[in-house]
């Protein structure tokens, strides 16, 4: 880590030691777990996920989504927390961070032992019927899709942040999309916020309340390109709440933050944990 980054990391450590920060995480948290983010280093979107209006608009779109998701789920579900996830948990154990808001839908923060996680965009492990409201867990639905699509084992080395892959049209056309076992409709949808969808207002308000109650905000692995996360950074800045940011490349919120490290999350968080541990040990030493 460069000297300038080391100095900024020390400043962030001092902020965290003054009181547990609220954490906001984005797709960059999970790249080292094998789940790529949506954007390249320059902020340009690498893939275009399915829009909510497209998903709800036709059975063909839902068939395409579920075929891709069926193939992608195996790699997505096999992903495990990386060092950055575990280091955030360690910061929480040290009392340097408190609740965490994540824009990710992979459940890796919880798998790493982090507590008080708010999933802003939901979690792919839950599926809901848009027609009758019935719910089913994704592993159960996956087993059902496997039974309905014997031999559907399409090779793909791609995976996306929302768990699907790119498939040829001929593969999609032979896939039997799942139907709700309660009402029979083909309107099953992962209980996540699709692009073009909106986070429920009560959940957004809860996140604003968390920002208001926090002594500082720590943003990790997010380009802040979408308003879903940027609004909390803007809110903190308006309220005079210090904002620290660690991620690779430029972000939409760079002009709003007080401390900024442009670097790999694993290395940066390791340095941050080391600094906080020294401070905690010093505070606990007898005088």
Is residue 85 part of the annotated active site? The answer reads no
pLDDT of residue 157: 52
Query: Would you say residue 156 has pLDDT above 60?
Result: no
Average pLDDT over residues 108-137: 97
Please give the order of strands across the beta sheet that includes 188-192: 135-137, 122-129, 188-192
229 in helix, strand or coil? helix
Backbone angles phi, psi at 218, to 5 degrees: -115, 115
Confidence of residue 161 (pLDDT cuts 50, 70, 90): very low
pLDDT of residue 287: 55
Q: CA 270, CA 177: separation in Å to the nearest integer?
A: 44
Model pLDDT for residues 33-61, shown as the tens digit of each residue: 988 765 444 444 445 678 999 999 999 99
- Residue 132, annotated ligand binder? yes
pTM reported for the whole predicted model: 0.89
- One of 3.90.550.50, 1.10.150.120, 3.30.1600.10, 3.30.70.20 is the CATH number of 46-78+124-192, namely 3.30.1600.10
Mean pLDDT (the chain) is 89
What tokens appear for 145 in the block? 């899709």
Q: Domain 1-35+81-121+198-287 adopts which CATH fold?
A: Rossmann fold (3.40.50)
Exposure of 48 in the CB half-sphere (CA atoms within 13 A): 2
- Residue 207, annotated ligand binder? no
Average pLDDT over residues 59-86: 90
The shares of helix, strand and coil residues in the chain, as percent rounded to the nearest 5, are: 45, 15, 40
Average pLDDT over residues 15-36: 94
Beta bridge partners of 100: 23, 117
- Are 35 and 161 contacting, i.e. CB atoms less than 8 angstroms apart? yes
Lowest mean pLDDT among 143-147, 165-169, 222-226, 268-272: 165-169
Q: Please pick, among 85, 121, 206, 259, the residue that the annotation labels catalytic.
A: 121
């Amino acid at each position: 880590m460069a000297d300038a980054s080391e100095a900024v990391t020390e400043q962030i450590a001092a902020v965290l030691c003054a009181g547990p920060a609220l954490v906001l995480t984005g797709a960059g948290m999970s790249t080292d777990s094998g789940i790529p983010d949506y954007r390249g280093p320059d902020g340009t979107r690498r893939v275009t996920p399915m829009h909510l209006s497209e998903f709800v608009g036709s059975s063909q779109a839902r068939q395409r989504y579920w075929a891709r998701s069926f193939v992608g789920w195996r790699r997505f579900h096999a992903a495990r927390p990386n060092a950055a996830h575990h280091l955030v948990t360690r910061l929480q154990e040290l009392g340097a961070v408190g609740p965490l808001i994540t824009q990710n839908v992979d459940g890796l923060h919880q798998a790493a032992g982090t507590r008080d996680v708010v999933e802003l965009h939901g979690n792919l492990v839950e599926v809901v019927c848009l027609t009758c409201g019935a719910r089913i867990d994704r592993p159960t639905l996956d087993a059902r899709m496997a039974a309905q699509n014997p031999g559907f084992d399409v090779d793909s080395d791609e995976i996306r942040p929302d768990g699907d892959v790119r498939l040829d049209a001929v593969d999609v056309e032979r896939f039997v999309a799942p139907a709700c076992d309660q009402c029979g409709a083909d309107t099953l949808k992962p209980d996540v916020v699709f692009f073009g969808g909106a986070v429920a207002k009560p959940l957004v308000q809860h996140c604003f309340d968390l920002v208001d109650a926090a002594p500082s905000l720590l943003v990790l692995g997010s380009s802040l390109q979408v308003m879903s996360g940027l609004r909390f950074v803007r809110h903190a800045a308006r309220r005079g709440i210090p904002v620290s940011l660690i991620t690779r490349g430029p972000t939409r919120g760079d002009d709003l933050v007080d401390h900024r490290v442009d670097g790999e999350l694993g290395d940066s968080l390791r340095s941050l944990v080391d600094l906080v541990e020294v401070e905690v040990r010093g505070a606990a030493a007898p005088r």
